[in-house]
Amino acid sequence: MKKEVLKRVYDTIKRFNTIYIVRHIGPDPDAVSSQIALRDAIKLSFKEKHVYAVGASVSKFKYIGKLDKVDSFDYENSLVITLDVPNISRIDGLDLTKFKNVIKIDHHPFVEKFSSLEYIDEGATSTCEVLLDLFNNTRIKMDKIIATTLIIGIVSDSNRFLFSPTDEKVLYKVADLVKKFNLNLQDIYAKIYRRPISEVRLMGYIASNIKVTRNKFAYIILDSDIVSSFNADVSSASNMVNDFNNIEEFVVWMFVTYDEKASIYKVNIRSRGPIINEIAAKYNGGGHKFSSGARVKTMEELNDLINELDMTCKNYKD
Name the residue nearer to Mn ion (CB basis): 1 or 247: 1
Q: Angle at CA 40, nearest 5°, toward 192 and 81? A: 95
- Candidate segments 28-36, 50-58, 168-176, 256-264, binder of Mn ion by CB under 5 A: 28-36
Q: Is residue 106 a contact point for Mn ion (CB under 5 A)?
A: no
CB 242 within 8 A of CB 192: no
Query: Which positions from 154 to 183 touch Mn ion by CB under 5 A, shown as an x/- string?
Result: ---x--------------------------
Q: Is residue 84 a contact point for Mn ion (CB under 5 A)?
A: yes
What is the amino acid identity at position 296?
Answer: V
Please give the residue whose beta carbon sits closest to Mn ion in the complex.
30
| Tally of CA atoms within 13 A in the half-sphere of 119 that contains its CB | 25
Size of the site for Mn ion (CB under 5 A): 5
Q: Is residue 129 a contact point for Mn ion (CB under 5 A)?
A: no
Residue from 23, 30, 152, 219 binding Mn ion (CB under 5 A): 30
Question: Which residues pair with residue 257 across a beta bridge?
Answer: 222, 266
Phi and psi for 289 in degrees, rounded to 5?
A: -55, -45
Beta-sheet strands, E only, within the chain: 18-22, 50-53, 78-83, 101-106, 117-120, 211-212, 217-222, 252-259, 264-271, 286-288, 291-296
- Candidate segments 35-43, 112-120, 126-134, 198-206, binder of Mn ion by CB under 5 A: 126-134
- Candidate segments 35-43, 84-92, 190-198, 270-278, binder of Mn ion by CB under 5 A: 84-92
How many other C-beta atoms lie within 10 A of the C-beta of residue 80? 25
Name the residue nearer to Mn ion (CB basis): 107 or 216: 107
Q: Is residue 40 a contact point for Mn ion (CB under 5 A)?
A: no
Binding residues for Mn ion (CB under 5 A): 30, 84, 126-127, 157
